[in-house]
Amino acid sequence: MSRVCESETHEDRVIETLSRLPPKSLMRFKCIRKSWCTLINSPSFVAKHLNNSMDNKLSSSTCILLSRSQAHVFPDNSWKPEVFWSMINLSIDSDEHNLYYDVEDLNIPFPLEGHDFVQIEGYCNGIVCVIAGTSLYLINVLLCNPATGEFRQLPPSCLLLPSRPKGKFQLESIFGGLGFGYDCKAKEYKVVQIIENCEYSDDQQYYYHRIALPHTAEVYTMAANSWRVIKIDISSETYHYSSSVYMNGFFYWFANDGEKYILSFDLGDEIFHRIQLPSRRESDFEFSNIFLCNKSIASFCSCCDPSDEDSTLCEIWVMDDYDGIKRSWTKLLTFGPLKDIENPFTFWKTDELLMVATGGRATTYNSSTRNLKYLHIPPILNEVRDFEALIYVESIVPVE
């Protein structure tokens, strides 16, 4: 009996040790022993590894997944967009407030060619959901685990038409928005896609002759590997401005239908909701996007400094007590004026905000010390055009 206990204790220790290793090490270990390969691929081990990785997110170092794109121009003046994903590990000396970071470029061969853009549209549990295409009519949706290098290309949309209409009063459909996350009730990953529909009152299809039609939506589940149409009841004039943010079984988008608001989607009951932003009508402040802040949804609000039009005054508002219908907002932070700041990405510490400055420079701002520091993230070729960033937790959650 004692030998059995000792054997079980040893096995438990092996599992515990393996579950705390980075994905790269685990991918190598799968080739060492067949029993380890079976263990690492098991759903229980994948869940245990994810839980340990989520706990490590609270450590002194924070991992940021940064997506950069730039145009690779060839001698014949042809060009090809290239997308680079990098991991930035950020940490701060709590005593001296010194910032430390290192940048690792990920060598992940992209499985598709001939695309003009690649955008991160959603993130959950180490998996990013990206769209790639040549226009908003020709969209490929892919799931990728950057830590393992796995990709899954989703089947074509059942709502998105592959080209523009050829005549007036014919249906045009374009990509409108996308979210990716985990449905805790059904215990499965889901992708929701919003399609904007319209028709034109003239054959030339000028924008000012555009007639907006009701949006449509569809949901993809990994288990079924197919799309199905769902109900959506939002204004036909609604447009999303941001990639989705996932939190606790909900997607969130920053949206506008003449009034800026947050559009949310409950993965469990598959219903869309409208959330009003705080009223700032008495001032020149305007909301511009949303992001995660300490396990809450936050929105960035800004205006030009009246005394210096090149500087920006900033506010961060946090949404509290949201249950699908009720919500309240609290102003978390006021800071500025700051020069040449274009867009905030996310809080990577309680008082550290990651932002992008004019010229595509990643910066971090400490609200306690009011220090603004530029991160040296060199372009791989020449000019970096776009930045996307999110707080990232490595996992071995499969997408294939």
Per-residue pLDDT tens digits for 295-347: 888 888 888 887 887 788 888 899 886 655 557 898 988 887 888 777 777 88
Report which of 169, 166, 219 is spatially closest to residue 195, judged by C-alpha positions.
Answer: 219
Lowest mean pLDDT: which of 115-129, 243-257, 319-333?
319-333
What tokens were used for 46? Answer: 């994948």
Same structural domain, 45 and 143 = no
Assess whether pLDDT exceeds 70 at residue 95: no
Same structural domain, 125 and 251 = yes
β-pairing, 117-124 vs 99-106, is unpaired
Query: Per the domain annotation, does 213 fall within a domain?
Result: yes
Query: Per the domain annotation, does 328 fall within a domain?
Result: no
Residue 332's contacts (CB-CB under 8 Å, 6 or more residues apart) are: 293, 298, 316, 317, 318
Query: Per the domain annotation, does 330 fall within a domain?
Result: no
Same structural domain, 136 and 233 = yes
pLDDT value for 72 = 57
Distance CA 362, CA 354 (A): 7
Query: Per the domain annotation, does 131 fall within a domain?
Result: yes
Same structural domain, 255 and 178 = yes
Name the domain boundary from 260, 276, 292.
276
Same structural domain, 262 and 142 = yes
What tokens were used for 39? Answer: 């263990």
83 strand-pairing partners: 69
Name the domain boundary from 56, 78, 98.
56
- Look up residue 180 and give its amino acid: F
What's the average model confidence in pLDDT over 134-148?
Answer: 83
Same structural domain, 259 and 125 = yes
Same structural domain, 41 and 148 = no
How many domains does the chain fold into?
2
Measured CA to CA in angstroms, residue 396 lies from 40, 53, 61 at distances of 9, 10, 20
Q: What is the pLDDT of residues 348-384, one digit of tens each?
A: 877 888 887 777 677 888 888 888 888 877 655 444 5
**Four-point Cα dihedral 379, 27, 149, 219, nearest 10:** -140
Same structural domain, 112 and 222 = yes
Query: Per the domain annotation, does 376 fall within a domain?
Result: no
pLDDT band at 3 (very low <50, low <70, confident <90, very high): very low
Most confident of 69-83, 168-182, 197-211, 214-228: 214-228
Query: Per the domain annotation, does 154 fall within a domain?
Result: yes
Name the domain boundary from 221, 250, 276.
276
pTM of the model: 0.85
Same structural domain, 178 and 269 = yes
* Domain span including residue 6: 1-56
Report which of 113, 242, 103, 265 is spatially closest to residue 177, judged by C-alpha positions.
Answer: 242
Same structural domain, 121 and 261 = yes
Query: Per the domain annotation, does 97 fall within a domain?
Result: no
Same structural domain, 117 and 238 = yes
Same structural domain, 151 and 264 = yes
Query: Per the domain annotation, does 28 fall within a domain?
Result: yes
pLDDT band at 29 (very low <50, low <70, confident <90, very high): confident
Residue 105's contacts (CB-CB under 8 Å, 6 or more residues apart) are: 84, 85, 86, 380
